[in-house]
Amino acid sequence: MATPSMTSAPSTSAIMRTCLYVVLLVFCLFYLVPLYVMLVNSFKELDEIRGGGMLNLPENFTTAPWASAWSTAQIGVQPTGLKPYFLNSIYMVVPAVFISTMIGALNGYVLSKWTFAYHRLVFGLLLFSCFIPFQIVLIPMARVLGTFGLAGSTWGLVLVHTVYGIGFSTLFFRNYYEAFPTELIKAAQLDGAGFFQIFRRIMLPSSGPIIVVCVIWQFTNIWNDFLFGASFTDFDSQPITVALNNLVSSSTGVKEYNVHFAGAILAALPTLVVYIVSGRYFVRGLMAGSVKG
């Protein structure tokens, strides 16, 4: 009785395991093939792409499409390449991520350690802001930016993304700080530290994992945003997502697929780098923040 079950148990699990890996591999390919196509074709000459063989490796390896996408491609009316728009995105994403993370940390600190009447309600309303679709705020936001004189500028986008990011960053930090021992705050109070001293000297230095989570989250969302970028900027302040769209969907001349591929990869590169560099902290931080909270 015991013998067959003992021999069959590992073999079933081996079959199951093989099936599992095959399925996973298929899904993996499903996601990786487009990237592969983009990558190999970005190094081909246009003639070679027209000749078909999308999956083939380049015959005449060339980096010209990359150089073109970066600095000479026609975007809108100017042959500037993606470079100035890439910089626009950097100027937008760095302050927006920094400010929204800091405000989120401060909010989380107050909502978990300096609670006041109705703090739950305030937190609930902040959470609610995570679920408001972008489209709904377009017109009110346009009015606000107009009033502040920030319409059509990078700083306008920084403001929009900061405001939009506060909901999520507050959620992250509040849940993380909820598990943070309150006795530490009390001890610091007795030691004579004030509200901001406790925040800066005690809370922030212990917030590494959740800062990483928040930065990755905000960075990807803000970098990849198209709608706000397209709605609230003029030609000089467009982020790279909008510029890429202008590059790809320009209707005059020849479609330079190799340049488009290179440009798309360029636009996706920063988020890719952020994930690869700090991905494992991301998972760890997510667990630390959410499970204990």
Partner 1 sequence: MSFLKIANVSKSFASTQVLNDINIDIAEGEFVVLVGPSGCGKSTLLNTIAGLENVTAGQIEIAGQDVTHTVPADRDIAMVFQSYALYPNMTVEKNITFALEMRGMSAEAQRKACAEVSEVLQISHLLKRKPGQLSGGQRQRVAMGRALVRNPQVFLFDEPLSNLDAKLRVDMRTEIKQLHAKLGTTIVYVTHDQIEAMTLANRIAVMNGGIIQQLGTPDDIYNRPANLFVASFMGSPSMNILDVTLAQKKTGVEVTLPNGDKFTLADSNIDLKSLKDGQVKMGIRPESIMEKAPASSKDFATLNQLIDVVEPSGSDTFVIFQLGETTMNARFAGDSTVKSGEKIKFHLDLRRVHFFDPETGDRL
Task: Using CB under 8 A, list all residues that contact partner 1.
Answer: 181, 183-184, 186-193, 197, 201-202, 205-206
| Residue 233 phi, psi (nearest 5) | -120, 160
110: tokens are: 């107050």
269: tokens are: 């590169």
Nearer to partner 1, 117 or 136 (CB): 117
Shortest distance in whole angstroms from residue 196 CB to partner 1? 12
How does DSSP assign 215-248, residue by residue? HHHHHHHHHH--HHHHHS--TTT--HHHHHHHHH
Nearer to partner 1, 133 or 181 (CB): 181
Shortest distance in whole angstroms from residue 284 CB to partner 1? 17
Shortest distance in whole angstroms from residue 211 CB to partner 1? 13
Nearer to partner 1, 47 or 183 (CB): 183
DSSP summary character for residue 114? S
| Residue 61 phi, psi (nearest 5) | -65, 125
Q: What is the rounded distance in angstroms from the CA atom of residue 96 to the CA atom of residue 32?
A: 31
Nearer to partner 1, 102 or 163 (CB): 102
Nearer to partner 1, 12 or 189 (CB): 189
Shortest distance in whole angstroms from residue 177 CB to partner 1? 14
- The DSSP H or E segment spanning 253 is none
Nearer to partner 1, 77 or 117 (CB): 117
Shortest distance in whole angstroms from residue 193 CB to partner 1? 5
Nearer to partner 1, 4 or 192 (CB): 192
Shortest distance in whole angstroms from residue 198 CB to partner 1? 10
The dihedral built from the CA positions of residue 87, 88, 92 and 97, taken in this order, carries a sign that is negative
Q: Tell me which residue of 131, 128, 132, 151 sits closest to 141, measured CA to CA.
A: 151
Max CA separation in the chain (angstroms): 82
How does DSSP assign 204-221, residue by residue? GGG-HHHHHHHHHHHHHH
Shortest distance in whole angstroms from residue 202 CB to partner 1? 6
Identify any residues that bridge with 78 across adjacent strands, giving them in sequence order: 75
167: tokens are: 């909901």
Please count the residues of the chain: 293
Q: Name the residue with tokens 């909010």.
A: 107
How does DSSP assign 71-110, residue by residue? IIS-BTTB---SHHHHHHHHHHHHHHHHHHHHHHHHHHHH
Shortest distance in whole angstroms from residue 183 CB to partner 1? 4
Nearer to partner 1, 56 or 189 (CB): 189
